[in-house]
Amino acid sequence: MFSRVIKPALLVLASFALVWGAVYVYWQSTARMPSTGDVVGWLLAAPLALVLTVWGVSKVRASVAADASSPTPKVAAKGQAAAGGARAGKASSEADKTDAAEGRFRVTVLASSLRSPGGATVEELAAAVAEGKGVGPDPELKNDAGFPIFAARIADIEVDELRDDLADMPLAKSAEIDVAMLADDRLRSIQAMSETLTDLLPHADELMLATEPQSAADNGNTQRQRIAVEAPVLRISLLLPGGWTEHERLLAAQWLQHACATESPAHAWSVDYLRNDSGATAWTVLDRISLALNREPQKPALWIVLAAESAISDACVAQWEARGTLFSTARRNGLMPGEASAGLLLTGAKDVRFAKADAAQVARPVFGQLESSADASTVSRATVLGALAGRLAEASAVEVAAIEWVVSDADHRASRVTEVARLLQDRLPHVAFDENNLSTGITCGHMGAASELVGLALACYLAKEHQKQVMVASVSDPFARGALLVGMPAPPAESAVSA
């Protein structure tokens, strides 16, 4: 009992007494008036440090003594550690192989749709961006001083009928949200997303009808025969603005579910939604979908990913102006309100039911983070996008020189334009800045949650049109950076023909 309790207690008391005595004598001899920091440091921290040091030394001495008295068990333990290390090394090697294989996952884009200020199709948007169509003064939105602000709006969006229809949704009927008070930017986002989904559903229906369950005897394709016959499932993931309330996001999801039930009543589908923020962007959603589609290719699945956001409303303009983020002649680094919706119909690149040889394939995205905000003019951002380009090329087994186009969400802000220009100068000097570099933000303004999918839809069009590799980069965020590569499937290797 003495050695386990009393002896350690006496050791602690002796340590405190020794330190306190020495400090007291020192302060008395120097006539020093101790501060609060001196009292805490010397009368509390110093004795504790001494106790811990003595305890540590005693533990080491006991361990050395045990080693000397029983060497054989220690040798066995080392042998076990070596065996465990070998097993861990093997597991690590297997994990590395799995990561490398999954890094080469691709999804095939079977169809795309968008609504943007530059046009209602990717062809129209590509032409508008290539022509340098910029954001201009809006005829309706004004700042606090009564002057028109620069904004980009989608033509022909009407929200009055949608407001009435939303009032019939279950959430609205439960009085959890007042549809009559919804700001126009919410309604415009939901309307644009609804139109985008309506464009994609017929493509999904056609593919699902073509792959109805059938007997193996009716299927002449031996590869298909090896795959269990299952009814395909359509999954729909929505990326909704982070600035919305949870009830607003739920209302949008209910409306899109209603659209599915109306437009595609004969097939199984599911709808989920995510909140756009720093941890869940379109790139991260797309990456999760890629993993899900490729890890279980035997399960037939189609996936629609949708994103939309609008800043076209008096309420949104007032909020931006109050926060100091609205563009003006005095605030050149401010944002110009914009809006867009984009959607893609996806399947796994190796899914023999749906994947097409003439459809663009999208590699898994890569991510980076700036050390300082891109909104600070003194920050150097030359290496981040360049590093991402290198990682994309390595993961996709293509040369950086094979990337012939760059699509980004860079806008009017000089910092973003310069960042993309440095990417081309440093890593892609063969890409002409004024020809093969398209910046959607110049035409569409700030698109929020939709910006990445708008760029991806445009890149898929360019890859198919020109049969080239296209890099898509997101630079709108002050810190987060993301990029992915879009290209056409490699042609099948020709069989060698013997003479």
Which residue carries 């749709």 as its tokens? 113
Beta bridge partners of residue 277, listed in sequence order: 280
CB 152 within 8 A of CB 142: no
331: which 2 tokens? Answer: 């605030």
pLDDT for residue 386:
93
Q: Are strands 480-487 and 136-142 parallel, antiparallel or unpaired?
A: unpaired
* Rounded distance between C-alpha atoms, residue 160 and residue 172, angstroms: 16
pLDDT of 491 higher than 70: no
Picking from 412, 389, 248, the residue whose alpha carbon sits closest to that of residue 329 is 412
User: Which amino acid, 334?
Assistant: G
CB 343 within 8 A of CB 196: yes
Give the CA count within 13 Å in the CB-facing half-sphere of 106: 23
The length of the chain is 499
Give pLDDT tens digits for 106-135. Answer: 999 999 999 999 999 999 999 999 999 999
Give the mean model confidence (pLDDT) for residues 298-321.
Answer: 93
CB 149 within 8 A of CB 136: no
pLDDT for residue 494:
44
Q: Which residues contact 328 (CB under 8 A, 6 or more apart)?
A: 143, 149, 334
Give the CA count within 13 Å in the CB-facing half-sphere of 273: 25
For the ranges 1-5, 251-255, 332-336, 370-374, which has the lowest average pLDDT? 1-5
For the ranges 25-34, 151-160, 206-215, 385-394, which has the lowest average pLDDT? 25-34
Q: Which residues contact 367 (CB under 8 A, 6 or more apart)?
A: 283, 388, 480, 481, 482
What is residue 299's DSSP assignment? S
Between 137 and 18, whose confidence is greater? Answer: 137
Domains of the chain, first to last: 1-27+36-57 (no CATH), 106-487 (3.40.47.10)
Beta strands, E only, 409-477: 437-439, 469-474
Give pLDDT tens digits for 209-252. Answer: 877 655 444 444 544 444 445 667 899 999 999 999 999 999 99
pLDDT of 297 higher than 80: no
CB 365 within 8 A of CB 455: no
pLDDT of 7 higher than 80: no
Residue 434: is it exposed, middle or buried by C-beta count within 10 angstroms (0-12/13-18/19+)? Answer: exposed
pLDDT of 27 higher than 80: no
pLDDT for residue 352:
80
DSSP string of 101-134, one letter each residue:
HHHT-EEEEEEEEEEBTTBSSHHHHHHHHHTT--
Q: Are strands 361-363 and 106-115 parallel, antiparallel or unpaired?
A: antiparallel
Picking from 385, 405, 392, 412, the residue whose alpha carbon sits closest to that of residue 473 is 385
Give the mean model confidence (pLDDT) for residues 360-384.
Answer: 82
Which residue carries 């056609």 as its tokens? 206
pLDDT of 259 higher than 70: yes
pLDDT for residue 377:
62
487: which 2 tokens? Answer: 């290209």
319: which 2 tokens? Answer: 């909020």
What's the pLDDT band for 280 if we cut at 50, 70, 90?
confident
How much of the chain exceeds pLDDT 90, in percent?
57
Give the mean model confidence (pLDDT) for residues 184-200.
Answer: 97
What is residue 76's DSSP assignment? H
* Rounded distance between C-alpha atoms, residue 281 and residue 476, angstroms: 12
Between 363 and 383, whose confidence is greater? Answer: 363
pLDDT of 31 higher than 70: no
Give the CA count within 13 Å in the CB-facing half-sphere of 460: 26
* Rounded distance between C-alpha atoms, residue 170 and residue 182, angstroms: 16
CB 361 within 8 A of CB 396: no
* Rounded distance between C-alpha atoms, residue 238 and residue 341, angstroms: 11
Torsion over CA: 486, 487, 489, 490 (sign): negative
Picking from 427, 416, 394, the residue whose alpha carbon sits closest to that of residue 481 is 416
For the ranges 223-227, 331-335, 431-435, which has the lowest average pLDDT? 223-227
pLDDT for residue 303:
96
> Angle formed by the axes of helices 282-295 and 71-103, to 10°?
100
Average pLDDT score over the chain? 82
Instruction: Kindly report the backbone phi and psi dihedral angles of residue 116, in degrees, each rounded to the nearest multiple of 5, phi listed first.
Output: -150, 160
What's the pLDDT band for 76 if we cut at 50, 70, 90?
very low
